[in-house]
Structure 1
């Protein structure tokens, strides 16, 4: 009878090992499948169709930033309008326009652009340029001034490539 209990205990222990092994393989297989779906599988076809329909919704919409043509303007160095007159601004600007015709027009009107930007920048004080919000407002103001010169909404964005305030 003792031998039967020993063999029965061996069978239960062996059976328990198999159950644990099967459960472990199932968990690893499920984790592998999840990782494959999440990180390695391509985008679902439905998502691709949705993105195509979103692109086709408004063909007359303004181009997204980075979709236009970029023109690099020369670096501007101006005295700021501080009371002591000891501060200056060095500013590098890239201008994004909507078409190649606008690039040619901007290059043609470069003296007017330089004059306008020098007057605008030299009218600013250190306090006008010290915060992030004021820098963003300056970018919008430059876009507005350039669009006035160009005669329409041809300038879409202005990028500061170099800015030193001393």
Structure 2
């Protein structure tokens, strides 16, 4: 019985047997061959990766021409906010989107536009200025006031470039 109970120390085997690297190398070679074969099959059109007529350039649809517009810049308005507000000033800069034929007329009326917007922004409640969702309503109100000053059909939109409470 003593012979069957031998330990590796008794038999002289100090290190365990090392496994073969053949399965690892074989797996790597097969993976590379499979990847190369898949790439070839897709490029050759065998697996539907390439469509017939893919060599021909696709017809480009001509984009619709952009409308003819002009933008009239406004000077930056600085509005003092009442005491107790989180900020001291409102910085407001915008551009007016107009028909090119009316750009000069609108630019000539800029002092009136600035006056109307300055008066409106000073009259707006502080809670509305601080509400992040109120900008859409304020923009619509300002556009309507500008359209009243310059006349219908001259100003299409007001683009707010800067609306900063600091």
Stretches of structure 1 that go unaligned for 5 or more consecutive residues are 1-19, 57-62
Contact kept, 8 Å, 1:97 with 1:155, in 2: the verdict is yes
SS in 2 for 1:94: strand
- Tell me, yes or no, if structure 1 residue 29 matches structure 2 residue 44: yes
CA RMSD, Structure 1 to Structure 2 (Å): 3.3
Instruction: Output the CA distance in 2 between the equivalents of 1:22 and 1:90.
Output: 63
Shift of the 109–32 alpha-carbon distance from structure 1 to 2, 3 Å rule, reads same
Greater Rg by CA: 2
1:98 aligns with: 99
Instruction: Output the CA distance in 2 between the equivalents of 1:89 and 1:33.
Output: 57
Shift of 1:153: 2.2
Instruction: Output the CA distance in 1 between the equivalents of 2:164 and 2:153.
Output: 29
- Tell me, yes or no, if structure 1 residue 69 matches structure 2 residue 70: yes
1:88 aligns with: 89
* TM-score normalised by length of structure 2: 0.61
* TM-score normalised by length of structure 1: 0.61
Shift of the 41–153 alpha-carbon distance from structure 1 to 2, 3 Å rule, reads farther
